[in-house]
Structures are given as structure tokens and as C-alpha cells.
Structure 1
Amino acid sequence: MYKIAVVGDYDSIYGFATLGLSICPVRNREEIRDRLRSLAEEDYGIIYITEAAAAEVSDELEMYREKTLPAIIQIPGVSGNTGAGVENVKKTVEQAVGSDILFGGVS
């Protein structure tokens, strides 16, 4: 069975521990990159990452975009929602179905 982790600044992710998720507080780009790599090598099927942390390692996230596992999903942090998470989900769905699900246009 796959596990679920949450990566980001402590204030944004500590509440997820009450849901039984593994929390991985990080402070800088190097810690984020190292943590993502180690989680991907373990049995983690889903990794939630705060939008702020994802922005720090966007090049690293590209490596996982075409892979089935782990699914890396951006979530807002305590600093607010930048819209990056929703935009990434929209792009992924658009690729999968060939159409913009919000506006009904064909790509």
C-alpha cells in the first residue's frame, strides 16, 4: 500500500499529521529537492507540496511529471493560494482529455 506525504514549511503542513499523513517540513531548496527524491524512492504514491516549495524546485518537479508514481500535487500554504496548483491540475487534465475543462475549448 502506498503512503502519502506532505512537503512544505512547517506552519503550512503540521495539521496534516492529524490525518495520518507523513509531514516533511523543509526550509530551503536543497532540503525540498532531497526530500522529494527520498520520498519518490520510497513507497509514496502521493506527495502534496506547498505551492511555495514547488516554486523553489520547479525543475525537479518536471522529472516527475511524466511518471505515474508518485503523483505530486501542489497545495496552498499558509501564505495563501497562488493558483499554481489549480493551473497544474488543469494542464494535466487538458493533456489527458485534449480539452480545456473550464472553458470547453479544444487544444
Structure 2
Amino acid sequence: MAKNIAVIGDSESIKGFAAIGMDIYPCDDNENAPHLFRKIADGDNYAVIFITEEMFGLVEKERKRYEERLIPAVIPIPGVKGNTGIGIKRLSSFVEKAVGSDIIFND
């Protein structure tokens, strides 16, 4: 079975991803975000889930269930409201774990 890419976020931030073949899941109701995330992550269709940084924070409890799994990879992306820095912080943390020091932002 082919593994696809899903994108979750407010409709304005994610609508362009449909044009390049990704499955989009607009969520403009913050209270529905955890349920929508679980539904997508628990399915067997997606290897990667891009989620706007705003939504990423709203589904923290649900995300923790998937952190130790290889699939789906959950990757925060900036939304139209701007970059909160969550994605960069996570990348830096992963690199530091793998290499033993922060080689990305080590000034």
C-alpha cells in the first residue's frame, strides 16, 4: 500500500498543498484539532503528516503517542500567521541527540 502525505492546518495555510498532490485536512476549529489528528495518524494511509505550527501545539498530547514510531512522521510547518520557531527547535533537538551537540545553531 502506498504511503501518502497529509497536511493539517487552517484552510488558508494549507490549501496550496492540494495542488502538488498532498491530501489536505483543513481545521479551522481548534477544539476539533486533536480528534482530526488522531483520525489521520491512526490510519494506515500516511507516512508523513505536515501540520501547521499553530495546530502542532494544540495536539501535543496526541502527538506524544506517535513520537517513538517511525510512521507517521509528524512535521511542523509555518502557517500564514508566521513562524513560531517550533520546527527549528525540534530539528535542533534531533540533531543534538544524534550528534551529541547542537551543530546547527552553535555560535
Q: Normalising to structure 2: TM-score of the pair? A: 0.88
Partner of 1:86: 88
Deviation at 1:101, TM superposition (A): 2.2
Question: What residue identity is the alignment partner of 2:38?
Answer: R
**CA shift in 2, pair 1:103/1:64, >3 Å:** same
CA distance in 1, matches of 2:23, 2:102: 33
Q: Please, which moves more after superposition, 21-30 or 40-49?
A: 21-30
**What secondary structure, in the 3-state scheme, does the structure 2 residue paired with 1:74 have?**
strand
- 1:9-65 CA distance string (max 9 Å, x none): 000000000010000001234422122212122220000000001111222222211
> Which stretch shifts more, 79-88 or 58-67?
58-67
Residue 28 to residue 92, structure 1, CA distance change in 2 (3 Å): farther
Any idea what SS the aligned residue of 1:35 has? helix
RMSD: 1.7
Q: In 1, distance between residues paired with 2:37 and 2:10?
A: 14
Question: Contact 1:29–1:57 (CA<8 Å) still a contact in 2?
Answer: no
Distance in structure 2 (CA, Å) of the matches to 1:96 and 1:20: 32
TM-score (norm 1): 0.88
Residue 23 (str. 1) matches residue 30 (str. 2): no
Q: What residue identity is the alignment partner of 1:7?
A: I
Alignment gaps of 5+ in structure 1: none
Percent identity between matched residues is 44
Letter in 2 for 1:47: I
1:7 maps to 8
Q: How many residue pairs end up in the alignment?
A: 105
